[in-house]
Amino acid sequence: MAFEFTDANFKAEVLESDKLSVIDFWAEWCGPCRAIGPVIEELAKEYDGKVKVGKVNVDHNPQISMDYGITSIPAILFVKNGEVVDKLVGAQPKANFVKKIEAHK
């Protein structure tokens, strides 16, 4: 299951991790966000233990969204060693996520 990143745990779980983190910024009211939800869950299972895949609900965690300048959702950030190494915006096919993960893990 995809990890739930929050304003409270983001630093420890993402910024201080040496693993690649895939962070899906989403909201319940966002149709495209719901459309890629199952893809995010699949990636979380497939990369379990190798890559940290999770979600940030922008309505509940405004600080992270502001820190990273998230203005449209879904926005997916790829973070490694505390730095954003890649980004996808909008609903995407699973292959696009896999390509980015494989390039950075």
Q: Which CATH architecture has domain 3-104?
A: 3-Layer(aba) Sandwich (3.40)
Where do the domains of the chain lie?
3-104
Query: Is position 61 annotated as part of the catalytic site?
Result: no
Token pair belonging to 71: 């203005």
Q: Name the amino acid, one letter, at 31.
A: G
Q: Name the amino acid, one letter, at 89.
A: V
Q: Report the predicted TM-score, pTM, of the whole model to 2 decimal places.
A: 0.95
Catalytic residue among 2, 33, 40, 58: 33
Q: What confidence tier does 1 reach under pLDDT thresholds 50, 70, 90? A: confident
Write the DSSP assignment of 9-68 as a string of letters: THIIIIIT-SS-EEEEEE-TT-HHHHHHHHHHHHHHHHTTTTSEEEEEETTT-HHHHHHT
Catalytic residue among 14, 23, 30, 43: 30
Query: Is position 33 annotated as part of the catalytic site?
Result: yes
Residue 37 has pLDDT above 90, yes or no: yes
